[in-house]
Amino acid sequence: MQKSKPHGSGNGRLINCGSTRGDVTARPLALNDGRSSAPSQGTSPADCQESRNCPPGGPTFGSRVRLRGFTLIEIMIVVGIMGIMMTIGVPIVYKVWHRAPINQAVRDTVEVLSNARARAILQGKEMDVLFHPKEGRLEIRGAGGSTVNKGPVTAGFSSGVGDGTSAHYSDRILIEMLDINKLPHEFRDDDEAMIRFFPDGTCDELSLVLVSDQNERREITLEITTSLASVEVDPRRFR
């Protein structure tokens, strides 16, 4: 009687899968020459899935894997999130690149006052800051006085608008108050008003209040013993 040929005989041995419950049945393995070998212990269904001779239902070699793309709803959600982030970020970026006129005026004023103080100390001579209230500008001008250092002193400053030696306010900024040494005089109505910085680090007393077209107010003061400038934001604390 003709013996049936073992199923799946070819190059390599066959691994017999266990039952669906996960138990493994020890059965002889069919070899190429028809001889049987001892069953391999510990063969698991996972090993069967990796074999070419597994029953139907397991993965096949050469099969294509379908990649899932984005749906229209997912793309619309991403675009909506990007729109929200741009709506939040654009005003912040605009404020960084376009300073409010009141903040720019305060920054320029403090810079001019600080540079005048540094020049007076480093060059050893009195320095004047001239205010032109009607024109909305100020500038540093050298004043007379004895020079402590006879040799040339380079403080690293140059003259010109916007370089720390002068400033010009925007048309949206007005000088609401200009008080020098607490004198009973409205300096804001003058063509020129002057404060002086001395080589010992002192200066005239100054109180300057700026107001914008948005009704924003800032007060800049100079402390006479140190000639350092300070800025007050809260109008309730103005003098």
Once rounded to an integer, what is the mean pLDDT over residues 14-20? 46
| Percent of the residues in the chain that have a pLDDT greater than 70, as a whole number | 59
Give a three-class secondary structure readout of the chain: CCCCCCCCCECECCCCCCCCCCCCCCCCEECCCCCEECCCCCCCHHHHHHCCCCCECECCCCCCCCCCCCCHHHHHHHHHHHHHHHHHHHHHHHHHHCCCHHHHHHHHHHHHHHHHHHHHHHHCCCEEEEEECCCCEEEEEECCCCCCCCCCCCCCCCCCCCCCCEEECCCCEEEEEEEECCCCCCHHHCCCEEEEECCCCCECCEEEEEEECCCCEEEEEECCCCCCEEEECCHHHCC
Which pLDDT does position 180 carry in this prediction?
Answer: 94
pLDDT tens digits for range 225-237 = 999 999 998 766 6
Which pLDDT does position 124 carry in this prediction?
Answer: 92
Q: In the chain, what are the domains?
A: 101-237 (3.55.40.10)
| Percent of the residues in the chain that have a pLDDT greater than 90, as a whole number | 44
Better pLDDT: 234 or 88: 88
Once rounded to an integer, what is the mean pLDDT over residues 62-75? 76
Which pLDDT does position 198 carry in this prediction?
Answer: 95
152 band by pLDDT with thresholds 50, 70 and 90: very low
Give the pTM: 0.55
pLDDT of 44 over the 60 cut = no
pLDDT tens digits for range 89-147 = 888 877 766 668 898 999 999 999 999 999 999 999 999 999 999 999 999 986 444 43
Which pLDDT does position 142 carry in this prediction?
Answer: 60
pLDDT of 15 over the 60 cut = no
